Amino acid sequence: MSKQPDPFRAGIERGWKITNGAEALPHTVNCDVAIVGTGAGAGITAELLTKAGLNVVLLEEGPLKTSTDFNQKESQAYADLYQEGGTRATLDKSLTILQGRCVGGTTVVNWTSSFRTPDATLKFWQEQYGLSDFTTAALAPWFEQAERRLNMVPWEVAPNLNNEILRTGAHKLGIAAHVIPRNVNACWNLGSCGLGCPTNAKQSMLVTTIPTALEAGAQLFYLTRAEKFEIENGEVKSLECVGVTANGTPVPHKTLRIQARHYVVAGGAINSPALLKRSKAPDPHDLLGKRTFLHPVAFSAAVFEQDVEPWAGAPQSIYVDHFLNVDPIDGPAGFKIEATPLHPGLASKLMGNMGPTLAARFKDYPKTQMMLSLVRDGFHPESAGGTVYLKPDGTPTLHYPLNDFVLDAFRRAMVAMAEIQFAAGAKMVRPVHEQAQEYSSLTEAKAGIAKLEMTPQMTGAGSAHVMGGCTMAGSEDKGVVRPDGLHWQVKNLSVHDGSVFPTSIGANPQLSIYGTVNRMATQLAKRLSGKDVSLA
Amino acid sequence: MTTPTASSPASPKRRWLLKTALVVSAFGAAVGGGIFWKRGLSEGRLTASGQAVMRGVCLAVLSDILPADPAQREARVQAHLVRLDEFVAAMPTSSQQELAALLGVLANAPTRLMVVGMLSSWETASPQEIHKALENMRLHGNTVDMLSYHAVRDVTALAFFTNPDNWSLAGYPGPFDI
């Protein structure tokens, strides 16, 4: 348990309006705007709408945990802060998905990497999705405000060795490597970002926008699932909610009906389209839940002579974009390379194998460096992403085929990562793949990787970036929502989260969500209140 | 740009249908429960037969990580089985049902033989025998075999290595005390 000051708990003691839905719920609540979710999109929206004087209700399915609760233990973090207790995966289980589920959403557990939406991605959106106002210049002030509000600046401290190896190897190969901007303030460099920041250094929604909204009078209901909208004649009439236990089981007789002027869905990709599907929201062009993207991630482990301690220090501080620019954006998939922090649980997953082999790999754990390549998906006809379905109990599942197009990028990424790791002095490199051997030279690695059967289950794959499923577009035949986030067919419903992206971003998406939603929510605040507000 | 190959025999769509058929036929039978008498989970906790499966998997997956001393080894295994209940409790009901179905498949002799290829029961099989069977599922199995291997292997590894009591066995010094 962290012994550091906890401003959120201090706010609760000051009388913030917060309700545990598993314990008690009022029958009905009326408000100006109901926001589903408390993550990146929801937080920005809540701050701006409350600044405009609107009466806001926030709904969070996950628990409320604050810095005092964050004990830097994976056992507690995965159970308390992640979707499905840390076990969310695609339907065929070939790809694991790390996604937040708590007050503050994924911003509580992300690794703080902060990138603006790349120009190439925005150009694709302009050309293919009619998003003419999504230019680099038009979005710049919205990103700039978010960066200022959340203190996003390039990491000034020396990278940990897990990241420095990426920079060293890239430079030796003549490849550019850059420092990652992070949303932190007085960071202790602990390396526990993925487990909830125990010092409140990370400028997540939990310590920034949500407290601001609560201080301005917003109401927060946690352990409260938005079950479905009642939609009539192109208008939401109400939102039905239910109290849930920590693992998401509905609590009998704990229900809440919310009536609002406007409703904002910001539960994150997978969850937002699922809510709209449960609500039978109009979907005349069969787009809802489709084109869900993941930045599928390939991994490569390397063992060095010296201790790397891959659990210590800022998780991500160096990146390489070289391999995003080798081919055209709509050609073979490019990939972004970053480091992967390794606490023991995540290490056990990525080290793979079992018995004596697993033991030998753990013997090298302190000397292990783990690299990742996130594949830019959604820009090619063979990269249509996944589809969100509802299970019989109404909860979502994502079918994302790990197809040959993606796996071709994985093979190229494995070679690229091995080359960088060897250039940095690795004694041994092993791609995360069931058939992979321990390669002691680049020549050996290239030959070995060429022989790997690149198939789902056999190939290690993960994701921490879920995007799409409620595509925004300039015309209704291509999008679930308009460029300003308003639903094309339902007049008092908006979507404000990463599910609106028409493709993946090609970079860690948190700042893309903040910047996009900053503009959407500022416009919404003006429409509902007549007031001009600003994030920073 | 190349053209999508949605209708080709090797297309992802076709493979998905094949996989779905396999998974549904194996796990659906277990969920139905008519021919299976051993269930893996009950009210979100491992049953005795579920524990037998996970104990066997633990001994094979964690073999050389567990202490060599028999008493210490057994204590770790017992603690792991307790930790597994805690781990499973954090999973949503639908995921618990999937795991329960899988453990049912693995616990009952006919489907154990089909998926794991192991004649011996989990209680009587040696760790080496279980390791050999899991290794076969890992590298040479069909989709259901591989999926089953990953499910029990990952639940075992994640529950074990996220447990602070096992950090010393992993070589992790633990976080800074703040």
Strands (E), A37-142: 56-59, 96-97
d(CA A210, CA A512): 19
CA distance A355 to A394: 38
DSSP A459: B
Question: Residue B38: its pLDDT value, please?
Answer: 75
B158 in a domain, yes or no?
Answer: yes
Chain-centre distance of CA A144, in angstroms? 20
Which of A344, A353, A434 is facing B170, going by the closest CB pair? A344
Alpha carbons A494 and A420: distance in angstroms, whole number? 44
Residue A382 distance to chain B (closest CA, Å): 5
Residue B146 placed within a domain: yes
**What is the tens place of the pLDDT at every residue in B111-148?**
999 999 999 999 999 999 999 999 999 998 789 999 99
The residues spanned by each domain of chain A are 15-61+115-149+199-289+469-528, 161-182+297-376+403-460
Give yes or no for A128 touching B (CB within 8 A): no
Residues of B in contact with A380 (CB under 8 A): 1-2
For an interface test with B, which of A457, A458, A459 has the most B Cβ atoms less than 10 Å from its Cβ?
A: A457
Interchain contact B154–A (C-beta under 8 A): yes
CA distance B47 to A391: 25
* ipTM (interface pTM): 0.95
> What is the pLDDT at residue A468?
98
User: How far is residue B37 from each of residues B29, B105, B177, measured CA to CA in Å?
Assistant: 12, 10, 48
B155 in a structural domain: yes
Asked whether residue B101 is domain-assigned, the answer is yes
- Cβ atoms of residues A464 and A82 within 8 Å: no
Which conformational region is residue A306 in: left (phi greater than 0), alpha (psi within -120 to 50 degrees), or beta? beta
Spatial distance between the Cα atoms of A265 and A496, rounded to a whole number of angstroms: 6
Nearest to A381 among B1, B154, B166 (CB): B1
What is residue A46's three-state secondary structure?
helix
Predicted confidence band of residue B171 (pLDDT cuts 50, 70, 90)? very high
What interhelical angle do B143-161 and B70-89 show, nearest 10?
110
Query: Mapping DSSP to helix (H, G, I), strand (E, B) and coil, where does residue A479 land?
Result: coil
**Helix H or strand E segment including A494:** strand A493-495
Q: Is B42 on the interface with A (CB under 8 A)?
A: no
B147/A366 Cβ within 8 A:
no
Q: What chain B residue is nearest to A244 in terms of C-alpha separation?
A: B92
What confidence tens digit (pLDDT) does each residue in B24-61 have?
555 555 544 444 567 899 989 999 999 999 999 999 99
Query: What pLDDT score does A255 carry?
Result: 96
Q: For chains A and B, what is the number of CB pairs under 8 angstroms?
A: 154
Q: Is residue B22 part of a domain?
A: no
Q: Report the C-alpha gap between A378 and A505 in whole angstroms.
A: 9
Q: Return mean pLDDT, chain A.
A: 97
Asked whether the beta carbons of residue B63 and residue A86 sit closer than 8 angstroms, the reply is no
Residue B10 has pLDDT above 80, yes or no: no
Mind listing the pLDDT tens digit for each residue in A337-355?
999 999 999 999 999 999 9
Query: Cα(A173)–Cα(A109) distance, rounded to whole angstroms?
Result: 33
CA distance A100 to A268: 9
The answer to whether A62 and A100 are in contact (CB under 8 A) is yes
Angle (CA) A32-A37-A42 rounded to 5° is 70
Structural domain harbouring B102: 42-164
Superfamily of domain A15-61+115-149+199-289+469-528: FAD/NAD(P)-binding domain (3.50.50.60)
Gap between the Cα atoms of A353 and A451, Å rounded: 19
- Note the Cα A122 to chain centre separation in Å: 19
Rounded distance between C-alpha atoms, residue A148 and residue A17, angstroms: 28
- CATH 3.90.320 for domain A161-182+297-376+403-460: no
**Is A70's Cβ below 8 Å from some Cβ in B?**
no
d(CA B26, CA B22): 6
Q: What's the CA angle centered on A515, arms A104 and A129, to 5 degrees?
A: 115
Q: How many domains does chain B have?
A: 1
Nearest to A93 among B151, B158, B178 (CB): B151
pLDDT tens readout for residues A436-489 = 999 999 999 999 999 999 999 999 999 999 999 999 999 999 999 999 999 999
- Nearest-Cα residue of chain B relative to residue A74: B162
The H or E element containing residue A163 is: helix A161-172
Is the residue at B28 inside a domain? no
Q: Where are the beta strands (DSSP E) in A128-249?
A: 152-154, 178-179, 181-183, 219-222, 224-232, 235-244
Nearest to A59 by CA among A19, A23, A100: A19
Q: Among A349, A399, A457, whose Cβ lies nearest the Cβ of B146?
A: A457
> What is the mean pLDDT, run by run of 10 residues, along chain A of 536 residues?
88 97 97 98 98 98 98 97 96 96 98 98 98 98 98 97 98 98 97 97 98 98 98 98 97 95 98 98 98 98 98 98 96 98 98 97 98 98 98 96 97 98 98 97 98 96 98 98 98 98 98 98 98 97
Residues of B with Cβ-Cβ distance to A365 under 8 angstroms: 170-172
Give the nearest partner residue to A365 out of B12, B131, B171, using CB atoms: B171
User: Does a structural domain hold residue B55?
Assistant: yes
Q: Quick check: A362 and A345 in contact, CB under 8 A?
A: no
Per-residue model confidence (pLDDT) at position B39? 86
Report the residue of B62, B65, B140, B156 to disrupt the A interface, i.e. the one with the largest count of A CBs within 10 Å: B65
Q: Rg of the Cα trace of chain A?
A: 22
In this prediction, residue B23 carries a pLDDT of 54
What are φ and ψ of residue B124, in 5° steps? Answer: -100, -20
Angstrom distance (rounded) from CA A427 to CA A430:
10
B81-120 pLDDT, tens per residue? 999 999 999 999 999 999 999 999 999 999 999 999 999 9
* B92/A247 Cβ within 8 A: yes
- In A173-306, beta strands by DSSP E: 178-179, 181-183, 219-222, 224-232, 235-244, 250-265, 292-293, 297-303
Res B1 pLDDT > 80: no
Output the pLDDT for position A455: 96
Domain contains B34 = no
Contact A93 B147 (CB under 8 A): yes
The reply to whether A15-61+115-149+199-289+469-528 and A161-182+297-376+403-460 are identical in fold is no
B7 — contact with chain A (CB < 8 Å)?
A: no
Nearest-Cα distance to chain B for A190, in Å, is 7
pLDDT of residue B178: 86
pTM given for the model: 0.94
Whether A393 and B176 lie within 8 Å, measured CB to CB: no
Q: Hey, is the C-beta of A75 within 8 angstroms of any chain B C-beta?
A: yes
In this structure, chain B runs to a length of 178
Please judge whether B90 and A188 are an interchain contact, meaning their C-beta atoms are less than 8 angstroms apart: no
